[in-house]
C-alpha cells in the first residue's frame, strides 16, 4: 500500500487532514507534521480519503449519524459543470429524432452528478450552438 493516502492528526491543533506522506506543515495551524505523526487511518484514493478525514474530524457522538447520512454512492462534493460532462449529458439526452426534452436532461444531469440548473445548462448549450430551442423545454440537437 505504498501509494495510499494517510489521515494524519496534528499534535498541535488535533485536527485531521490527508496527505500521502509526512514532513509538511498542518494546513490548519501551520505546525510541522513529523515522521512520527499519528496516522488515524489510510485510504486508497482521494474520494475515500475525503470521507475518512470528514469522519475523523467529526465528534464521536455524531459519527454514526453522519455515516448514515452519507452513502457511498453520493459524492461529498458534487461535480461542477465542465464542457466534457455537458456534452455527454446532451448526447445522452437526445432521442432517435434528435430532440432533447428538459426532463431527460434533468435526469441525465442528476445521474452524472452535475450540479447546475437545467434551464441555465440548456441556455449555455444553446449559446455554444449545439442545440436550437423548438419550444419551451424542447430542443433540436445540431450534430
Count other C-beta atoms under 10 Å from residue 128's C-beta: 13
Per the structure block, which three cell numbers stand in for 78? Answer: 458534487
pTM of the complete model = 0.49
pLDDT (tens digit, 9 = 90+) per residue, 85-128? 788 899 999 999 999 999 999 999 888 877 788 998 899 888 88
Cα–Cα distances in angstroms (integers) from residue 7 to residues 14, 65, 70, 74, 134, in the given order = 12, 21, 19, 21, 52
Judged on CB neighbours under 10 Å (0-12, 13-18, 19+), 107 is: middle
List CB contacts of 108: < 8 A, sequence separation 6 or more.
89, 92, 93
Looking at the predicted structure, is the pLDDT value of residue 135 above 90?
yes
Instruction: Give the pLDDT score at 127.
Output: 82
Q: Where are the alpha helices (DSSP H) in the chain?
A: 46-56, 60-69, 83-93, 102-111, 118-127
pLDDT (tens digit, 9 = 90+) per residue, 2-40? 578 999 999 999 999 999 988 899 988 999 998 889 999
How many whole angstroms separate alpha carbon 19 and alpha carbon 12? 17
Per the structure block, which three cell numbers stand in for 7? Answer: 489521515
| Torsions phi, psi for 136 (to 5 deg) | -60, 120
Amino acid at each position: 500500500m505504498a501509494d495510499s493516502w494517510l489521515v494524519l492528526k496534528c499534535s498541535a491543533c488535533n485536527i485531521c487532514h490527508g496527505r500521502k506522506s509526512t514532513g509538511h506543515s498542518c494546513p490548519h495551524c501551520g505546525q510541522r507534521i513529523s515522521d512520527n505523526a499519528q496516522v488515524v487511518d489510510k485510504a486508497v484514493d482521494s474520494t475515500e480519503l475525503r470521507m475518512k478525514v470528514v469522519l475523523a474530524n467529526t465528534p464521536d457522538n455524531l459519527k454514526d449519524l453522519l455515516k448514515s447520512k452519507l452513502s457511498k454512492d453520493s459524492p461529498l462534493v458534487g461535480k461542477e459543470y465542465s464542457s466534457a460532462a455537458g456534452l455527454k449529458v446532451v448526447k445522452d439526452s437526445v432521442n432517435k429524432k434528435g430532440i432533447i426534452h428538459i426532463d431527460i436532461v434533468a435526469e441525465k444531469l442528476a445521474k452524472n452528478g452535475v450540479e447546475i440548473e437545467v434551464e441555465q445548462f440548456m441556455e449555455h448549450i444553446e449559446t455554444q450552438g449545439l442545440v436550437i430551442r423548438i419550444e419551451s423545454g424542447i430542443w433540436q440537437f445540431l450534430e
